[in-house]
Amino acid sequence: MMPGSPSTPVHPNHKRVAFGIIGLLISVTGALSNALVTANLTNLQGVFGAYNNEIAWLPAVYVMGNISINLLLVKFRQQFGLRTFTEAFLVLYVLVAFFHLLVNDLSSAIVVRTAHGMVAAALSSLGIYYQIQAWPARHRLKALAIGLAASQLAIPLARLFSTELLELEEWRGLYLFELGLAMICLGGVLVLKLPPSQRYRGVFEKKDFLTFLLMAPGMGLFCAVLSLGRIEWWTSTPWLGICSALGLVLVVAAVVLEHNRANPLINTRWLGRGEIVRLGIVMIMLRVTLAEQNTGAIGFLQQLGLQNDQMQGLALAILLGVIAGMITSALTINVKHLNWPILLSLLLIMLASLMDAQSSPLTRGNNMYFSQFLLGFSSAFFIAPALLINIGSVVQQPKNLISLVVLFGMSQNLGGLIGSALLGTFQNWREKYHSNLLGDQLNYLDPNVTERLSQYASQFSSLLNDSTLSAAQSVVQLQSAATLQANVLAYNDTYMLTAGLAMLTLIWAVWRVLRQHYLKRQQAKREAAAELAARRAMQQSSSAITAGK
């Protein structure tokens, strides 16, 4: 049993089912808190009367709180026990969800969202613990696959029904629903408690909090820069550079402190091992490429003017993909072949991006069902194998558990932010490029341009009696059409970038897997040759002894 995790006694079948349902509900509830906001930023922007760069702080501060608190959660479970951890954080989650209903301005909403991100971090591990109780010992890996992938259900679910929630009481409808889910989860864990876990005394050290005070604001500054960079723009906003430099200083100071501790909170030497670094890179690249789903496809359709209620079919396709990926991962997960799900996910991401790269101004959600199904499948299929690849070293050295949790959490959170920042910035840049090219081609001497302007003028003639005003409106309409086309071309370029990144990561990962197999085979040959030589030496010595006698 890992430190801070519950014992796993044998439960009757009806109790296993209850554990599984509660675990699934907790995982989805924890992820929905951010998904509901992310899926409805435009509506929230109107409610709070905020600018685009102001409302972007809501998802940013959530990730800032979520990514920082993981440093302390593992030790909290170890010192105070899992039951205290479960009930305390769920009560806090309910309270924070309730305080959302009292928010009236953006500043107070940002404060509450930060707290929400911190308490929601506890729900992901709690959902996994409940899921593990639902399965017998021989199927624990299936439980882990379901518990980890369940959080991926949140985004498509939020886009499926959040429009109806907004109709209830605007943005408060979202939080009323979230409060209801949180209270159901709290009731479930109070009725069906987890088995007790082993508690340890003196787990926390004073330097742990010093590391937290350095690492948390440092990572928070990075999150702010990645979230706001493409909106404020990287090269024209001085505070982005200041925050990046300050964040780097704080994180480096925390790493130096941890590297020289006898009992570190984060094992920098373990994290610095080649295989751990390579795993972190692959997980980040997976998250970067999966950002094509929200930043790419959803952003593209929103650019065409579609709202959440018009993309419910697409959200359903993504949801079915996530469910299929979760089930397939649970059925096929094998500790001897953990690399193959990651390679397959990268291949599917590349294929889905190439399919989306054929988009046009007439593309709608139904044209992207299959590609987004593949992306949803990939997002759920790779996550459990990625965590399990280095779980063996954690079992041998339980102190590395916090380091693994930090690595996994940061790769998922930062990978998503890096992906959104990279793809969003690239799309913006390519849109300007295509706008310039198309603008140069809009020449009044071109008969196609004059014909299109005449068509627009005839459309406005019934509404506008002034021919000059009608002609000016026709020019505006033509410019809007050119801008839309430039955005479509830019998104196609973004899909190609995603496909290229997935392909490069796939090639590198395949090379690493083949190289490992080759090195293992060579090592086996050397060991076999050494064993054969040892046997021959023993036979020769035995023959010499026999001849001497």
pLDDT of 66 reads 81
pLDDT at 47 over 80: no
Q: What is the mean pLDDT of the chain?
A: 80
Residue 540 in any domain: the answer is: no
Write down how long the chain is.
549
Domain identity same for 291 and 217? no
pLDDT at 137 over 80: no
Where are the alpha helices (H) located in 333-399, listed in sequence order? 339-356, 369-381, 383-388, 391-396
246 pLDDT tier (thresholds 50, 70, 90):
very high
Domain identity same for 126 and 221? no
Domain identity same for 432 and 283? yes
pLDDT of 6 reads 63
CA 83 to chain CA centroid, nearest Å = 28
Closest CA to 77 of 413, 405, 548, 466: 405
Q: Report the alpha-carbon distance of residue 328 to residue 142 in Å, rounded.
A: 10
| pLDDT tens for each residue of 446-501 | 677 777 767 766 766 666 666 677 677 777 777 777 788 888 888 899 889 888 98
**Phi, psi (deg, nearest 5) at residue 5:** -100, 155
Convert 125-184 into a string of H (helix), E (strand) and C (coil): HHHHHHHHHCCCHHHHHHHHHHHHHHHHHHHHHHHHHHHHHHHHHCHHHHHHHHHHHHHH
pLDDT at 323 over 80: yes
pLDDT of 397 reads 58
Place of tokens 């939080």: 175
> Structural domain tally of the chain?
3
Q: Report the alpha-carbon distance of residue 59 to residue 55 in Å, rounded.
A: 8
Q: 208 vs 401, which has greater pLDDT? A: 208
Under DSSP, is residue 197 helix (H, G, I), strand (E, B) or coil? Answer: strand
Residue 549 in any domain: the answer is: no
Closest CA to 406 of 257, 130, 212: 212
pLDDT of 463 reads 66
CATH of the domain at 484: 1.20.1250.20
Using alpha carbons only, give the angle 454, 456, 459 rounded to the nearest 5 degrees: 110
Report how far apart, in Å, the C-alpha atoms of 529 and of each of 418, 516, 537, 542, 543 are: 48, 20, 12, 20, 21
Q: Report the alpha-carbon distance of residue 461 to residue 168 in Å, rounded.
A: 42
Q: Report the alpha-carbon distance of residue 549 to residue 293 in Å, rounded.
A: 80
Domain identity same for 238 and 279? no
Out of 204, 223, 241, a domain closes at 204
Q: Report the alpha-carbon distance of residue 108 to residue 99 in Å, rounded.
A: 10
Residue 548 in any domain: the answer is: no
Among 179-183, 275-279, 438-442, 465-469, the range of highest mean pLDDT: 179-183
Residue 542 in any domain: the answer is: no
Q: 48 vs 549, which has greater pLDDT? A: 48
Q: Which domain holds residue 165?
A: 1-204
pLDDT at 100 over 60: yes
Domain identity same for 194 and 47? yes
Token pair of 533 as six digits: 């030589």
Residue 545 in any domain: the answer is: no
| pLDDT tens for each residue of 141-187 | 888 888 888 888 888 888 888 777 777 777 777 888 888 888 888 88
Domain identity same for 301 and 445? yes
Token pair of 5 as six digits: 């995790």
pTM of the model: 0.83
CB 382 within 8 A of CB 328: no
First to last CA, the chain: 58
Closest CA to 331 of 146, 150, 127: 146
Token pair of 529 as six digits: 């040759």
202 pLDDT tier (thresholds 50, 70, 90):
low
Domain identity same for 392 and 281? yes
Residue 152 in any domain: the answer is: yes
Domain identity same for 246 and 327? no
Residue 58 in any domain: the answer is: yes
Token pair of 393 as six digits: 């070293």
Domain identity same for 137 and 21? yes
| pLDDT tens for each residue of 384-400 | 787 777 665 555 555 55
Instruction: Burial-class residue 232 by CB neighbours within 10 Å (0-12, 13-18, 19+).
Output: middle
Domain identity same for 148 and 256? no
Report how far apart, in Å, the C-alpha atoms of 188 and of each of 94, 185, 404 are: 13, 5, 29
| pLDDT tens for each residue of 400-421 | 565 666 677 777 778 888 888 8
Under DSSP, is residue 6 helix (H, G, I), strand (E, B) or coil? Answer: strand
| pLDDT tens for each residue of 72-98 | 777 777 777 667 777 777 888 788 778
Residue 72 in any domain: the answer is: yes
Domain identity same for 359 and 491? yes
Q: Report the alpha-carbon distance of residue 405 to residue 205 in Å, rounded.
A: 19
pLDDT of 4 reads 52
Place of tokens 């089930």: 327
Domain identity same for 175 and 322? no
For residues 331-336, average pLDDT: 82
Out of 188, 204, 220, a domain closes at 204
